[in-house]
Amino acid sequence: MQQQKTPLVRFLLRWLVCSLGLWIAAGLLSNSISYSNGVEVVVIAGLLLAIVNTILKPILVILSLPAIVLTLGLFMIVINGLTVFLVSKLYTPLHITNFWAAIFAGMVIGLVNFLLGAILKEFDTI
């Protein structure tokens, strides 16, 4: 029998995924994403991204639903990039040079989210 995760556990997992995804994206795009070489910057930026994804992203999805439907869901990549870019503007120690780098970071975070979700589901079935 599978247990339901509490909202706090889900938020902490989202925070972990956002921080890990930002760290990986910064490593892959070191010329476009910088974070002052401090782990605490990535952790705080991950927290802010988790908060933005929890509060603002559902509103953005609802407002852009026609674009999401017309592009068969591909517009979600733009929304993910927008949230990452917004966090970089709100938290200046995380510096993202352009919107394309933010879109790539959003794609990396989505991929990390997918992979960690698959791993955690596998552990739930054991």
Flag whether 2 is in a domain: no
pLDDT for residue 5? 72
Distance, CA of 93 to CA of 27 (rounded, Å)? 16
Flag whether 17 is in a domain: yes
pLDDT for residue 1? 46
Flag whether 106 is in a domain: yes
pLDDT for residue 6? 85
Flag whether 74 is in a domain: yes
* Amino acid (1-letter code) at residue 105: A
Distance, CA of 105 to CA of 56 (rounded, Å)? 18
Flag whether 1 is in a domain: no
Flag whether 97 is in a domain: yes
Domains of the chain: total: 1
Give the model confidence (pLDDT) of 60-96 as tens digits. Answer: 999 999 999 999 999 999 999 999 999 999 999 999 9
pLDDT for residue 54? 92
Give the model confidence (pLDDT) of 40-66 as tens digits. Answer: 999 999 999 999 999 999 999 999 999
Question: Confidence class of residue 3 from pLDDT cuts 50, 70 and 90?
Answer: low
Residue 92: give the domain boundaries. 7-124
